[in-house]
Amino acid sequence: MIRFEGLTKQFRLPGQTKTLLAPTSLAIPTGRAVALLGRNGAGKSTLLKMIAGTMDPSGGRVRSSGTVSWPVGFAGAFHPDLSGAQNTRFLARVYGVDTSALSQFVEAFSELGPHFRAPFRTYSAGMKARLGFGVSMGIPFDTYLVDEVTAVGDAAFREKSIWLLKARLNAAGAIVVSHSMGQLRALCDSALVLEKGKLTYTQDLEAAIALHEAQMHAA
């Protein structure tokens, strides 16, 4: 279970304070695949980073009863001067999984070829996303955080990525950000809706999508 206890996030801008998340307390049940809905700039990626622990909240805290991945596509998990292979082995040791098995899986899945042994700082954004997705899917987390799986490559690679994510969700939960409602319907069974700093959790995915689309239309 992931629980928000008075969780809030604000950014100070010149002459004003922007609230991305008003104080929020709610619980996401274990094993649910949750769509995270909200307009561009609403704070979806920021929320994922707070859940992962890679960004501090302004107040409150996140509690989890299981392991949580970093947001897929987030480059902060990797050292720029290490190669993809070295970063993979390092994270395998951090999370207590077999280094050789994870390296073999990520090298084959990511399709980076010789770049897998090149410094991470030389990677394009797409290559970074492939490595991040491959490493996170290769580690058995209880909850996967996925920010736009459509950003991880060409159509064939995205299809392979979605297939793998679906397989992982047979034994784990997820929080998924995507602009594709069809993709969210295929992956998720409940939803979080973030609108003007207010976060709402519902187990009615269709109702959440309808609310989100109405908010987008009104904007």
Q: What are phi and psi of 8, to 5 degrees?
A: -145, 155
**Lowest-pLDDT range, 34-38, 88-92, 211-215?**
211-215
User: What is the reported pTM?
Assistant: 0.87
pLDDT for residue 152: 61
**Lowest-pLDDT range, 68-72, 105-109, 168-172, 175-179?**
68-72
- Please tell me the CATH code under which domain 1-69+143-153+173-219 is placed: 3.40.50.300
pLDDT tens sequence across 2-18: 999 999 999 888 888 88
Q: Is the pLDDT of residue 213 over 70?
A: yes
- Rounded to 10°, the helix 99-110/125-138 angle is 140
With tokens 């490595």, the residue in question is 131
pLDDT tens sequence across 37-63: 998 888 998 999 999 998 999 999 999
pLDDT for residue 72: 74
Q: How many angstroms separate the CA atoms of 78 and 134, rounded? A: 13
Two tokens, residue 202: 């519902």
Two tokens, residue 130: 């492939």
DSSP string, 72-139: BT-GGGS-TTSBHHHHHHHHHHHHT--HHHHHHHHHHHH--GGGGGSBGGG--HHHHHHHHHHHHHHS
pLDDT for residue 41: 86
Q: Considering just the CA atoms, what is the radius of gyration of the chain in Å?
A: 17
- Are 56 and 34 a contacting pair, CB within 8 Å? no
